[in-house]
Structure 1
Amino acid sequence: MQALIVRPMLPADLAAAAAIEACAPEAWTAGQLTEELAAQQAGGAPRLFVAAGEAGLLGLAVYQLAAGEANLCTLTVAPAARRQGVGRALL
């Protein structure tokens, strides 16, 4: 398994994150990701996270934070990176 870095999503990640998310059965749209990222950058707690490796973005997770709890909204791993621990790292 390659080394992974899990970090909050940045605006520069949107295109790659939307491409990965498009592989999901109930994918979030690029617009939905953009809206969530804008809310995050407006001062909210990070709730969009990406896993990055040597080849770039490998997966993303979106959480909803409320009352001290996190609800996982979506977690998607690029097909070529599945079964390599990316999803586990994002959780």
Structure 2
Amino acid sequence: MKNLKLMLPMLAFIMAIGMSFAFVDANKTVVQGYYEASPGNWQSVNVDCEGSSDCKIRFLPDPTIYKVYATPDTSQPLDGSGEVVDL
């Protein structure tokens, strides 16, 4: 019983520290977009682009920049900030 009285406050403190890292920013909206990895080869990707310019991504360490679209064709570019999002 003596050990339990000592361990419970320490356990609560450790859990509080651990849970502080478990929460993310709820204001970010992640949407599914598509990029053309090679001609005719469309891949889906989840991005958090916001703004009125084009959404662009880059997979590090590859220097290639891809434009993200709302559908798997080039007719509907996804809006973003115009900055490249590194994934």
Which structure has the larger Rg over C-alpha atoms?
Answer: 2
* Alignment TM-score > 0.5, same fold: no
Structure in which a larger fraction of residues adopt helix: 1
Structure with more contact order per residue of length (Cα contacts < 8 Å, sep ≥ 6) = 1
